[in-house]
Structure 1
Amino acid sequence: MRLDKFLKVSRLIKRRTVAKEVADQGRITINERVAKCSTDVKEGDELTIRYGNKTLTVRVDKIQDSTKKSDVKEMYTILKEIPLQKEDM
């Protein structure tokens, strides 16, 4: 599954266009490699996403084309969540 679609379906990022923009800015890595929006995501991959105020690292547990809000937590496991300090921004 494409990275931008996974981020939208898993609700890590609300809209696919926003996921594409974030990936194009180089703020997403898959297994410690900078990822483009078209990069394939597979089960077991480790994603690191730099938001404006935090960095989130998750492991992909399940790939689904669509989900209900209650089923989203089955798609990934949060490994690390690091809030950014003002100096880091």
Structure 2
Amino acid sequence: MSCEHVATLPAEVTADADDFCADCRAAGESGWVHLRLCLTCGHVACCDSSPRRHASAHYAADGHPIVRSYEPGETWRWCYADSRVV
């Protein structure tokens, strides 16, 4: 399953963090549950089950529609614009 936003993604992105939410770290916080990688710019942020929901906030602020799970062994992608797995 795909969506029109997949075609707008760059060929690859470089993650801005390895194993932490960049926004939580910048705020001196921890406690994220799962990490998501923005496939437009490489921003790593916490999921909606985390206290601050930084991945959703990144979409709301920057409009980058697709994230990939940044958890070991997971490769699924989510499109915020279409509210579905792509």
Higher strand share: 1
Q: Of Structure 1 and Structure 2, which has the larger fraction of its residues in helix?
A: 1
